[in-house]
Structure 1
Amino acid sequence: MLRGRAKMAEAVWELLERAARRAPPLEELRALRLAVQAVPPAALRARLSADHLTALFDLLGGNDREQVAACVSILERLLQALDPVFVIQNLREELQKGLFHPDDSVKILSIAQAIKSLSRIAQTQDGLEALFVSSLLSDLKNVMATSDVVRYRVYELIVEISSVSAESLNYCANSGLISELLGELTGDDVLVRATCIEMVTSLAHTPHGRQYLAQQGVIDKISNIIVGAESDPFSGFYLPGFVKFFGNLAVVDSPQQICERYPVFIEKVFEMAESHDPTMIGVAVDTLGILGSNVEGKQVLQKTRSRFQSLLSKIGHQAKNAPTELRLRCLDAISSLLYLPPEQQTEDLLRMTESWFTALSSQPLELFRSISTQPFPDLHCGALRVFTAIANQPWAQKLMFDSPGFVEYIVDRSVEPDKASKDAKYELVKALVNSKTIAEIFGNQYYLRLRAYLHEGPYYVKAVATTAVEGAE
């Protein structure tokens, strides 16, 4: 196999050398396209020069569509092997020319490479200055009108650069491109809104990004659009993204402040969770999981009292009866809502998680145990993650210990059919063993069995001794 690869690599260099000296016939380009796919990127990087690539870019100027397609395919592979900064330093002119090529595949190749290179260059002050004073950015602005795909790729680049530092955000804001993105976010095209909100959510992951969005009044505008969604028959297209935006904002900022300042957010999440639309329920469940992933978020949900309790009952029902994908999302959200780090386990919070667990079903432990014994690995692991989330809480340990056969189920390795399930069970055992109250609640015998399980690792198989019986066949 190694010899075959070495042969392929030699064939690549031979064909590239020939292409650098003269325009190759189509058969040679086809052979080169096949050869570069078979050679690992590291081997390509070793001997690749700017001349080889320039020659291929020159061939893009021809009228033969098959030739252009072959060259795009070869260049995609070769450029992947190179450092983006090398590409922009040595092939800037070729990429700029490519941005205005009549063939969309060439445009998209050039944009993808320009974007990869620019996001790397923008990591440094010198790179930022070079980028924003060069004509490359204005060229990118000019090609944005080509298609939605191209426009979104440029927005993605701007968001990526803006996320590096407050200074890089300033450069991007001054270029006018962020204003264009925000304009589309609050514009009338519902499908464009849905795409733009994802990029704006990425921008909100950094403190300077959040500050900028707040200063520009964007967060208020998003809140107002959620309010107006009631009367918009097309709100289903963008509402999930807008609600997720607030969910993410609450976690990186302060759940309490966000929910107090934008009450429409939490109201809309509850409405969506209570609806009969599986898409909306899924988004609401994801958002509740995000919001309740830290203690402050849990306390915000607890303040809604009986409304959240009845919502938990619906989520428990969905975890048992919904289509598989929604069941998984419910299980993940339940794990997130019920988990309490050991250092935050006050009596009040433990009472709260216990009451939430009880609200999920008339027999919640049995509900998740029945899901964990199903032959679907994803659901099986999802249920194990719920047990892992509550495993360090004394009330849950008592429930587990008092449930007939439950501790035996935990230490039984034979019920885990695949690697993912074995890993998930091991995490549950680890969470139990590392708890301070486990020895007291489970008793010494089971505690030692759990410790032995932890020590043996997730994939331990007990050796079975075979004894020869005299006279046996």
Structure 2
Amino acid sequence: MAAPGAQAAMELLGRISRLDQPFEELRALRVALQALPPAALREQGPNFPLAGLFALMARGDSNEQISLCVSILERFLQVMDPLYIIQNFGEELQKGLFHPDDSVKILTISQVGRIVEDSDAVREILNTPELLRQVIYCIAAEKIAVAKEAIKSLSRVAETPEGLEALLAGNLLVDLKNIMAKSDIIRYRVYELVIDISSVSVDSLNYCVNSGLITELIGELTGNDVLLRATCVEMVTSLAHSHHGRQYLAQQGIIDQISNIIIGADSDPFSDFYLPGFVKFFGNLAIVDSPQQICERYPAFVEKVFGMAEGHDPTLFGVAVDTLAILGSNVEGKLVLQKMGSRFQRVLNRIGHQAKNAPTELRVRCLDAISSLLYLPPDQQTEDLLGMTESWFSHLSSQPLELFRSISTQPFPDLHCGALRVFTAIANQPWAQKMMVVSPGFVEYVVDRSVEPDKASKEAKYELVKALANSKTIAAIFGNQHYLRLRAYLREGPYYVKAVSTTAVEGAE
């Protein structure tokens, strides 16, 4: 027997299918469903007569009616078995993909995405090529949310061998290529889908290569259109995140081609359009592979990063700072930068200067880069590495601690938190602790809660306190009194507010 709430929902569904304008019933049904636990919906799912709702949604007499139907169907469908949905509502889903309202398309495509994740239900989808064909055409939808949902669902289709075969080795591949011809934007969306699929496995990548779509993408990356280069390099960077993707790019000579384009950029007046993306490509390659190997094999990349960091173009300087932060985020990368000697020291000084004087957005990027460069995990703090980070800190400014202290007191949350992150990065290093404890008022500033006006600032300060309090050397360097204050702050949490007692004094006005 159905629960009372489920019974009420069934009665409302029965009434809705007999009425021309069932607005009140739809509103009541939405409220009733919100009160029903998912378990009750799941148990009674097959008993609910949803045909009337689908018909109302398809008819689309008004935006409100469509919106109510979408909201209600979403609640029903998300708890139903995917195989049941495709077997009983396959035709309705297909009609939904032709609906003029984008919310109906998104609902439908998201259900296709659920269905293809079910090993039994996916066969039903693959046996309905017209449904998949229409999802492919949704990639070309004007509304980006519809296109994104279509890309996500088709990526899921390709996670099975049968799906890969259907999508990239049959008639559906023709449909993909047809929509690519509509515009540059739609072509890039298809490339995005192909890169998503390629990243899953070697087999997935092979299917994408054999389809010819990866070759087309690489052709645009290494072609003469500078704007196309800039767009395509982001997608190729995503492909390089997987080991098999990097292997493919290396074997095909594509990484060497990108390096050669960087070398030739000096003589290209339009290189500013694509150079940031190409430099970021190598930065990402270094962090997922080996910073030392990448920098040794592609010296043009390192030279270009330093050239951008030393130049006067603020956009290129920002990209260089971000890339140095990525390179220096692990010990191997830090050692590569250390080998640059005085040249890197001068760049550090420039980063420190910009952290103080540049526009806010670039200042924040500089602060985040400094945090990345200076952080050393506790288990990697050798004497040589600690000496290196201390030296780097000293090259940021003539008085670096005071520089970041002054930034941390500014009333701009992004800068304030950025400076706190710098302190947090060095907080577990003994040389920094010694510097902090002798700086007048610094420890008092750290434990002063009143200077943190917002949630983000309170959390950033708490991370600093935690890094200090959990350091093995802090008690010896800060002394017991300061150490106990840090432990108390840590114990009380980031949002603690001290209670203020108000005691009435006799005779007081």
TM over 0.5: yes
1:464 is displaced (CA, Å) by 1.4
Is residue 27 of structure 1 aligned with residue 27 of structure 2?
no
Is residue 301 of structure 1 aligned with residue 337 of structure 2?
yes
1:233 is displaced (CA, Å) by 1.0
1:465 is displaced (CA, Å) by 1.8
1:470 is displaced (CA, Å) by 1.6
Greater Cα offset, 366-375 or 172-181? 172-181
Q: Which amino acid aligns with 1:96?
A: R
- Correspondence for 1:94: 131
Please tell me whether the aligned partners of residues 84 and 116 of structure 1 are also in contact (alpha carbons under 8 angstroms).
no
Work out the CA distance in 2 between the residues paired with 1:414 and 1:4.
51
**How many equivalent pairs are there?**
462
Q: TM-score, normalised by structure 2?
A: 0.83
2:106 corresponds, among 76, 86, 91, to 76
1:333 is displaced (CA, Å) by 0.3
- 158 and 131 in structure 1: CA distance in 2 versus 1, 3 angstrom threshold: same
Deviation per CA, 1:112-166, whole angstroms, max 9, x where unpaired?
4543223113334444344444422332122211111221111111111111112
Please tell me whether the aligned partners of residues 136 and 150 of structure 2 are also in contact (alpha carbons under 8 angstroms).
no
Is residue 218 of structure 1 aligned with residue 248 of structure 2?
no
Is residue 123 of structure 1 aligned with residue 154 of structure 2?
no
Work out the CA distance in 2 between the residues paired with 1:162 and 1:79.
21
Q: Which amino acid aligns with 1:169?
A: L
Q: Which amino acid aligns with 2:399?
A: Q
2:176 corresponds, among 140, 153, 159, to 140
Is residue 402 of structure 1 aligned with residue 438 of structure 2?
yes
Is residue 381 of structure 1 aligned with residue 417 of structure 2?
yes
Q: How does 1:18-417 map to 2 (within 5 A)?
A: 18=52, 27-28=61-62, 30-36=63-69, 41-43=74-76, 45-46=78-79, 49=85, 54-55=91-92, 58=95, 69-70=100-101, 72-80=102-110, 83=114, 85=116, 89-90=124-125, 92-97=129-134, 99=136, 105=141, 112-417=148-453
Please tell me whether the aligned partners of residues 97 and 104 of structure 2 are also in contact (alpha carbons under 8 angstroms).
no
- 226 and 106 in structure 1: CA distance in 2 versus 1, 3 angstrom threshold: closer
Please tell me whether the aligned partners of residues 239 and 245 of structure 2 are also in contact (alpha carbons under 8 angstroms).
yes
Q: Which amino acid aligns with 1:185?
A: L
Q: TM-score, normalised by structure 1?
A: 0.89
Q: Which amino acid aligns with 1:216?
A: Q
- 97 and 449 in structure 1: CA distance in 2 versus 1, 3 angstrom threshold: closer
- 25 and 434 in structure 1: CA distance in 2 versus 1, 3 angstrom threshold: closer
- 360 and 39 in structure 1: CA distance in 2 versus 1, 3 angstrom threshold: farther
1:175 is displaced (CA, Å) by 1.5
Work out the CA distance in 1 between the residues paired with 2:109 and 2:31.
16
1:297 is displaced (CA, Å) by 0.8
Deviation per CA, 1:370-426, whole angstroms, max 9, x where unpaired?
111111111111100000000011110000001000000001111111111111111
Work out the CA distance in 2 between the residues paired with 1:59 and 1:408.
63
Q: Which amino acid aligns with 1:148?
A: D
Please tell me whether the aligned partners of residues 53 and 73 of structure 2 are also in contact (alpha carbons under 8 angstroms).
no
Q: How does 1:389-468 map to 2 (within 5 A)?
A: 389-468=425-504
1:36 is displaced (CA, Å) by 4.7
1:326 is displaced (CA, Å) by 0.4
Please tell me whether the aligned partners of residues 398 and 441 of structure 1 are also in contact (alpha carbons under 8 angstroms).
yes
Work out the CA distance in 1 between the residues paired with 2:314 and 2:339.
26
Please tell me whether the aligned partners of residues 350 and 393 of structure 1 are also in contact (alpha carbons under 8 angstroms).
yes
1:250 is displaced (CA, Å) by 0.8
Q: Sequence identity, in percent?
A: 68
Which stretches in structure 1 are left out of the alignment for 5+ residues?
A: 62-67
SS of the residue 1:123 aligns to: coil
Q: Which amino acid aligns with 1:45?
A: Q
Work out the CA distance in 2 between the residues paired with 1:361 and 1:22.
68
Please tell me whether the aligned partners of residues 226 and 274 of structure 2 are also in contact (alpha carbons under 8 angstroms).
yes
Work out the CA distance in 1 between the residues paired with 2:264 and 2:433.
46
Please tell me whether the aligned partners of residues 97 and 105 of structure 2 are also in contact (alpha carbons under 8 angstroms).
no
What is the root-mean-square deviation of aligned Cα atoms in Å?
3.1
1:98 is displaced (CA, Å) by 6.4
- 184 and 36 in structure 1: CA distance in 2 versus 1, 3 angstrom threshold: farther
Please tell me whether the aligned partners of residues 372 and 381 of structure 1 are also in contact (alpha carbons under 8 angstroms).
yes
Work out the CA distance in 2 between the residues paired with 1:333 and 1:348.
21
Work out the CA distance in 2 between the residues paired with 1:16 and 1:4.
12
- 439 and 15 in structure 1: CA distance in 2 versus 1, 3 angstrom threshold: same
Q: Which amino acid aligns with 1:253?
A: D
Deviation per CA, 1:288-320, whole angstroms, max 9, x where unpaired?
000000111111111111111111111011101
SS of the residue 2:141 aligns to: helix
- 81 and 9 in structure 1: CA distance in 2 versus 1, 3 angstrom threshold: farther
Work out the CA distance in 2 between the residues paired with 1:433 and 1:40.
52
